[in-house]
Copies of this chain bind each other. A is one copy, B any other.
Amino acid sequence: MRPSGRKLSEMRPISIEVGVMKHAEGSCLIKMGETHVLCSATIEDKAPPFLKNTGLGWVTAEYGMLPRATNSRTRREAAAGKQSGRTQEIQRLIGRSLRAGVDRSALGERQIVIDCDVIQADGGTRCASITGGWVALKLAVDKLLKAGVIVSDPMIDHVAAVSCGIYAGQPVLDLDYAEDSTAGTDGNFILTGRGRMIEVQMSAEGATFSREEMGELLDLAEAGCTALVQAQKAALGL
């Protein structure tokens, strides 16, 4: 029995609202249950220095959390003077995952920065950031296409992410905080719209898992990402 009463393979309600930040080239507010993340995309004319004269573009991400997005207040990273190791790990993951869905040659020598800011946290913030970040990215790229700045569409496929884990001995989909904080094994699964895998991160803090369990979680993840891709399409009117 899950704390929320959900079935083992039941996701939380998904909501993706686009165009919520008037200044951004693309934006959305994604809600996975009580986890809410604001995602925005910024187009920059220049690619990072290491890509100079390669003809290739770049997609990168930054991640943050409002101090009171969490149950007890988290110290503001700007006040602490640095981003935590956790934050850096997450934003590197978001950027890497989104790049897997982009033809960087078609994008050309420019950079798109995806900002993911957690307004309210209830588990799965990095997965929500990837799923929502893709929507913001898609909107920004569409703007470039419509303006004729680029001519061929660099978006190869959807990118979506979901967490799964072993909770109370059973494989469950889309962990919320109550589950995430006690699960022995959990993982993040980033998949494309066609079901190919981009990144799989399974981790057992103080425990271990078998290949069979790994297979069960992958099955759940594939179902979850299919639903997320549907939500992305619906939000974008595709």
Contacts and interface: CB of A to CB of B under 8 A. Distances in A.
A207 to B, nearest CB: 7
Interface stretch (A9-17, A114-122, A124-132, A142-150): A114-122
Nearest to A156: B208
Interface in A153-203: 187, 192, 196-203
Interface string A56-90: 00000010101111111100111111110111110
B92 A38 contact: no
Interface stretch (A47-55, A209-217, A223-231): A209-217
A16 B184 CA distance: 31
A206 to B, nearest CB: 6
Chain A at the B interface: SS class: mixed
A203 B80 CA distance: 28
The residue among A44, A82, A218 with the most chain B CB atoms within 10 A of its own CB is A82
A24 interface: yes
B96 A85 contact: no
A81 to B, nearest CB: 6
The count of identical subunits is: 6
A64 B199 CA distance: 25
Contacts of A232: none
Nearest to A104: B206
A68 B41 CA distance: 8
Contact of A78 (B64, B100, B119, B198): B64
Contact of A73 (B66, B113, B196, B206): B113
Given A66-B38, A78-B77, A198 B192 contact: no
A20 to B, nearest CB: 9
A21 interface: yes
B206 A71 contact: no
A196 B208 contact: yes
Given A21-B120, A23-B121, A199-B203, 19 more contacts: A21-B68, A22-B34, A22-B120, A27-B68, A42-B68, A44-B73, A64-B66, A67-B115, A78-B82, A85-B85, A85-B88, A85-B92, A96-B203, A100-B204, A196-B208, A196-B210, A197-B209, A199-B201, A200-B201
